[in-house]
Amino acid sequence: MKKIYCGIILIGLCVFIPDAHAFWIWSPKTQEWKNPKYSALASPYLQYKQALEYFEAGSYKEAYAEFRKLLTHYPDAKEAADGQYYVGRTLEKLGKPYQAFEAYEKVIDRYPNSKRINEVVEHQYQIGEFFLNREGGEMLGLSIYDFVQHPSIEIFKSIVEKVPYSELAPKAQYKLGLLYLELGRYEEAKDAFQKAIDNYPESEWAAPSKYQLAIATAKFSAGAEYDTSAVKQAADRLDEFIEAHPDAEISESAQTRLRELRNQEAKKAFDIAVFYEKQHKTEAARLYYARVTEQFPESPYAERAQRKLQQLNGQSE
């Protein structure tokens, strides 16, 4: 009775689902049923060729599935590196940039000798720029990046750490510093710009990194009430930059920023003098007032410091 019942079910499947055998095929070689939808072609070359045809035809979902088959069934084939690269390409085409970045990462990690490495880095950098220029969502006036890591940080860091020899690595290092600067992470910005200077001294990004390093240093030191060392360091770096690059397009803005830094340095020295004066430490106050007049004669604090010196000198007579 059971055999008759099973036979009826099988006949029913054949009658009501006439295409059932199109999905599952018996393989005499492996002695098992296979579904062509999930099975790879007979060789990695044929599988790669079929996947590439889908990609070039703009059928990106189908291309993604076929490239995945290549990587699943032939991970060590010579076509695998290109297949992994095209997984990233198809994900970009499908509007999934972060997943594409992760796919490109696998090319670098698994196939470091791939001829596609430079192309991979170019695509990763473009994805980093995409996230860098995209408007971040806000909630109650706060950026989402106050709570989660900015994706461009991960992408640019990956480029400089995994492929530091690539042509885009210096630019990625510089952009990493700019991003930290924009996010108010000044200490990390200083470190990023310093690495751009130290690791890529011949790069076109070394000069602007010196300028940005001065800005980051100044911003980092802004909260230090009486510590003038960081501000002086920033001003000195700008001096060096302007002297070394007098014709650079950003020298005009650097000159403006230098004046601001010098004024800031003068203010800090003036405030220290006022502090010592209130503590009745006249000699120390006189020393700092004199520093303002001698080192920052063009600052708005020079005249005030001069008047203070005259008052202190009059009191001591």
Nearest to 80 by CA among 126, 113, 102: 113
Mean pLDDT score of the chain, rounded to an integer? 81
* Residue 153: per-residue pLDDT: 95
The token duo for 117 is 């490495």
- 118-122, 137-141, 226-230 — which is least confidently predicted? 137-141
Residues 2-11, mean pLDDT to the nearest whole number: 46
pLDDT beyond 90 at 257: no
Span 59-113, pLDDT tens digits: 999 999 999 999 999 999 999 999 999 999 999 999 999 999 999 999 999 999 9
Span 191-201, pLDDT tens digits: 999 999 999 99
What type of residue is 272? I
pLDDT beyond 60 at 228: no
pLDDT beyond 50 at 6: no
Q: How far apart are CA 175 and CA 158, in angstroms?
A: 13
DSSP per-residue string spanning 261-301: HHHHHHHHHHHHHHHHHHTT-HHHHHHHHHHHHHH-TTSTH
Task: Read off the pTM.
Answer: 0.67
Nearest to 124 by CA among 149, 156, 170: 156
Strand runs labelled E in the chain: 25-27, 32-34, 138-139, 142-143
Q: What are phi and psi of 138, to 5 degrees?
A: -125, 150
Q: How far apart are CA 262 and CA 102, in angstroms?
A: 45
